[in-house]
Each structure stands twice: as structure tokens, then as C-alpha cells.
Amino acid sequence: MPRMKLACVLALCAFVSACATAPGNYLDTSGLQEQPSTQAQQQYAVRVIDAQLIMQQAQAAAAAPQQPLPPSRYASPADYVYHVAPQDILGVTVYDHPELSTPQGSTFSTGGNTTQTLGQTLAQPYTSALPGEADPYGQTVASDGTIYFPFVGRLMAAGKTPGQVRDQIAARLGPYVKNPQVDVRVLAYRSQKVQVAGDVKTPGPLAMSDVPLTLTDAITRSGGATDNADINRVRLTRDHKLYVLDANRMLQQGDTSQDVMLQNGDTVYVPDRSDSRVFVMGEVKTPTQAGLIRGNFTIADALTAAGGILDTDANPRQVFVMRGMKNNPTHPEIYRLDMTKPDAIMLSSHFDLQPMDVVYVGTAASTTFNRLLQQVLPTIQSVFYLKEIVQ
């Protein structure tokens, strides 16, 4: 009889614990067939984070090859010269001859405002002008690169500097005007532009002007980067080639090589920090993902962002950093930091993380045992109480 009661108790427990009768959501795995793995258990080498490894990391970072820079037409900003192109609007002044000069009072820039954007220029009322003909606002360079000027006729302006256009007009006015004194300036820069997109406050096109436009100028004139922008990996597309530039090195370290001069047709894209994240998992108070701060992020930063490790559950000897799964999934790099060491705090603040790194804090052995008890104890208690009931 006692055996019969015990068998009934066990059967009742099995019935209660069955998935088909238990409340709540569950996955019915009866229709899934998992193929057994034919590969042997992979072994991964783990490197201990110590002072020597920190030194090696710093030396490797200093010796790392720099990203290639885009070729520039000019050796320095001092060599930059603006060349007129179709759709630009020129203003011509012939001194003592107002009938040949562009009327004053134009709403266009007279040369002093060299930060005029393309959007601002397009909003101005020049649309009544016919290409290549004089209008109250200046001479619009035609699609063939020419302009029309009284007594001179058509002359080629595209590809020339304003000074060269001035010399052309002065030379051809010689037979009609005694000792002509001519000045030519660009009233509206409409022909050449740079596109700025991504995480900037005011994305859009920027007009090229007589002042050289650099990478930091473009970001600044677009309202600056947003809080979520990753200026360490600004992408510049030129002539169908992609270049990655570190604008932060220019701002923080004064590396002017990254502040490249832009040219017509360039596209500047400021990405967000989605590709510059690190993940903090395991026995931490708040598992989280965090973005690199100006390209720098350490283990100490990661653990702080996650609220620190759990005092009762974490194994401080097992703070792992897993790296390289994207480029080399079969052989990731794994590092371990022992937080019980006296110098561990300093080491954690000097070990630099890389984008897409995973920081994992291991579980203490006592915690694993306690969690096992928490899973088994309700079943044991159920068996005990049911046994008492049937007796």
C-alpha cells in the first residue's frame, strides 16, 4: 500500500509538471529535431589582463597603420583658388561707368559672406535671369561656361578665377573704354557643393566658396554633430572611393591631417554610434550596451555603465572580454581580468575596448549551486506535502 501511494504521488507530480497542462507560454519542441554537432569541443585561449598586456596594447595602437587619406588638389589651404563654373552668378564693376556695372543693392553675397549655404542661395530671387545674360543681380554663367557682357560679347568664364575673368573683360573693353578699371566678384556660389548627411543637426548641401572648406568646417556649418554621432569614423566619399576619417583626432589632439580639404562632389556622412557599441552581460546590476566615448572606452567604463558587478552573485576573478567574432568567428580573442588583484582597478581603467566587444562577468560557484536549489526545491516540497496528504 505505501508503494502504491508513492507511485500515485510521483504520477501526480509528473502530471502537474507536464508542459501541456502547465499554465503560461511555452514552446512545444516536439516538432523540432536538432542535429547533433559533429565538431569537437572548441578550445579557446584566454589571455590574462596584466600590466604587460596593457603595454603591448598601447604599443600596438601606436604602431597601427593610419587610414589612407583622400588625395587633394592642393598641398595646403593657402594654395586654394576658386574657379568659376556654370550657374555661378558674377558681379562686374567698371569704375566710372555705372552703365556697365552690376547694380548695387543685390540680395546676394558681395563676397564678405563666404559661409552662404546652397539652400540659402537657391532661396534668393535670381530665377528671372536668363543664363548668360545680364540681370539686376549679376551675370549668370551659362551651361556652356560663358557670360555675355556689353561691348565684349560672349567670353569663357568657367574654369577661370574671378581675376582671370576680370583681365579678360578689361582687355576687350580697351577699344571702347580708356584705361578700364574692372573688378569681378562671385555674387552667388551655386555651381559646386558638398553633401553633408548623417548625425549632424542640419544635414544638407553646402556651397563651395572662395574660402577653402575642410571637414570640420563642413560639420560646424551643418550645425555640429549630434550627441549620438560618432565623429571618430566620419565617412568621406570622393570619386567613388570611401575614406574613414577621425575628426575627433583633429579636435582633441590637433591632428590636422584628418581635417582634409573638401572639393566639389564630396559626400560627408557622420554615422551614429551603432557600430561603436560594447555589450556588458553576466552578473552585473544592469546588463546594457554602451557607445564608445570619443573613441575611448575601458573595462572600468563598461562596468560602471552597467551599475557595477553583483556583490553576492558575481565571480570577480572572471571578468571576460570577448573580441573579434565579426571578422574571425572561429577564433575570437578572449581576455580575463582578475578583479581580486590589487592592481585590477588600475588595469580595468587602462584596457581599451573595441567596437562590438562583449564584457561578461562570470557567476560564482556558490551562486550556481543556490540557483540549482531554487529550481529543485519546489519539486521536493511538492513531493513532501503530497506524501503527507495521502498518508
Give residue-wise pLDDT tens across range 253-300: 777 888 899 999 999 999 988 888 889 999 999 999 888 877 778 899
pLDDT bucket at 115, cuts 50 / 70 / 90: very low
Strands 204-207 and 234-238: unpaired
Same fold, 1-12+45-54+276-391 and 193-274: yes
- Residue 324 DSSP class: -
* Contact criterion met (CB below 8 Å) for 387 and 9: yes
Strand partners, 106: none
Over residues 305-352, the pLDDT tens digits come to: 999 998 888 888 999 999 887 677 678 889 999 988 888 888 888 888
CATH code for 193-274? 3.10.560.10
Q: pLDDT of 60-98, one tens digit each? A: 877 777 778 888 888 888 889 999 999 999 999 899 888
| Bigger pLDDT: 100 vs 196 | 196
Q: What is the CATH number of domain 1-12+45-54+276-391?
A: 3.10.560.10
pLDDT digits (tens, 9 = 90+) for 354-363: 888 899 999 8
- Say yes or no to pLDDT of 173 above 80: yes
Task: Record the pTM.
Answer: 0.70
- Every domain of the chain and the residues it spans: 1-12+45-54+276-391, 83-188, 193-274
CATH topology for 83-188?
wza like fold (3.30.1950)
Cell 526545491, residue located: 377
Query: Cα–Cα distance between 64 and 57 in angstroms, integer?
Result: 10
Of the candidates 108, 80, 92, 91, the residue with the CA atom closest to the CA atom of residue 264:
80
